[in-house]
Structure 1
Amino acid sequence: MPRCSGARGDTVDVYWIGLDKYGGCDGLIKVVGERYLCEEDWEVVESTKDERTKVQRLVSRALRRWVLAQYEGVEGKELAFGKDDKGKPYLRGSRTGVEFNVTHTPSVASVCVGRDRAVGVDAETTSRRTKGGVERIAKRWFSQRELSKLEDMDSPGGTSEVPRMRRFYRLWTLKEAFLKATGLGISSGISLRRCAFDFEDEEVETGESISTKIRFEILGGERGGSDNPVPPEPTLLGEDWGFATFEPRRGDIISLCWRRKEDESAQETKDTLVRPFICTITPEGEITSM
């Protein structure tokens, strides 16, 4: 796995750090916050009552500042952030054209970075259970093809529960990463049923292996009907976007979305684009990448 080497215009970089061994915001995690966070970050962290969520927010904000400082060549506390008219966060006054996106779960925090390209990242834990089950979510937000394949895995003679949950969360995180990269949301008018994904490889290996063999299309054309409009900006053509998904540890799924540049082919995206970085926290509270 590569070490962080700063910005490259032809890559999408994803950083992740495990959170499940940190029980609260005291001790080492507090040192991390003191090293990387500014006052506005602390306001968000301290306003969070749930201790596990507080750890997620603290570490994800620290990771964001540490990562982007490598690209901008400044101290992390010097960075300033804003939100565009869609609510998507951005780095104010970037000198390198860097764009980023952040996600966290109870067990992992991740930051995705690209230069002069929109990016999105989403993560989920496959053991997570939802009210009413994943079937309720799938029936509402999955295309008929996605739903049928998921249901086939649960039929007599089908595969076990674990692969079915992995497939569900691969699909769900890809949809979320797409919405985050575009700056859209579920309330924007785009139907996630029309954002359809399929995999050339049914299983993603745990560890460094990243799957980019993902088929994506907007079903029913670029724009929807009057009851389901698709905003004209950004362009929502399937070939404009690249996707990847990987399982850094058993039970954690991270998915990425990025806008392809004009001179990038789909094959180049699959072969060379995505660089993963695993991060750790030293006993001194410093974030490092391996």
Structure 2
Amino acid sequence: MASRRDKQAAVSARQRIAEQQRAEQVRRKRTRMIMVGVAVVVALAMIIGAMLLANAARQREAAGEGSDAYVSGLSQVSAPQLDAVGVGAARDAATPVEGGEPVMVDGKPRVLYVGTEYCPYCGMERWALTIALSRFGTFDGLEASRTPANESSIPTVSYEHATFASDLIVFDGFETADAEGRPLQTLSADDDATLRQFNPGGSVPWTYWGTSHQLGASYDGGFLADANPDEVLARLGDANSSEAQGILGAANVHTARICALTGNQPGEVCDAPGVRAAAEFVG
């Protein structure tokens, strides 16, 4: 028969086991509560973050900044839209290069653009230039941008991270300073020498085709001041609007200059009525 001491030891062992089991249950319960609490905090953080992003988007639109949809929309302007405008309100701002020849890179003529992200006229010019270039190839990495609101802010795109792919031309766009005027991209020694040769003051925007170069914007984009870019893009569908007359007219002029480099290829672009009118306009 078990002694009294043995019985007491057995009882103590069972008590310790019971206490350990209770402690384990408490630990598991506490762990579950912590995990639930963490999940709730994460969920709340996600909800608050989404609300803040949505509110920021609403504030941008209320301030005239719009969404980023217009960036992709620049590559989707239709040929009928461009043809309906022709030259529009564009101006021939280019200067011929005496004895100039296209600059060939990998067997293709090159277009060079130099601007800054703080320059309002650069912001205007990138609308027309981007639409024109999109008729010959595809951009990747275009980003929505806006010039600083000194007197007025211009919605635009930035070429800083953009690349351009085309079977017909090479395009290099440089943003040499950011919206605060701080140095951004650096030209190669050859490009810097070309810029200084034809544009000693280094003013921007500056566009170079080899056969000609242009300083300044190719249209008056005053309507872009503090504008909502989504609304500007929508008004390009009205050939009589100031937006269409300026931006699409200038896009046709840029297209005509590029067609002169490519031997009027592709035909469906270079033979379009709006481009032919622009070609006659620039001579």
Q: Which has the higher contact order (CA 8 A, sep 6+)?
A: 2
**Structure (1/2) with the larger strand percentage:** 1
Q: TM-score, normalised by structure 2?
A: 0.24
Between structure 1 and structure 2, the one with the greater Rg is 2
Q: TM-score, normalised by structure 1?
A: 0.24
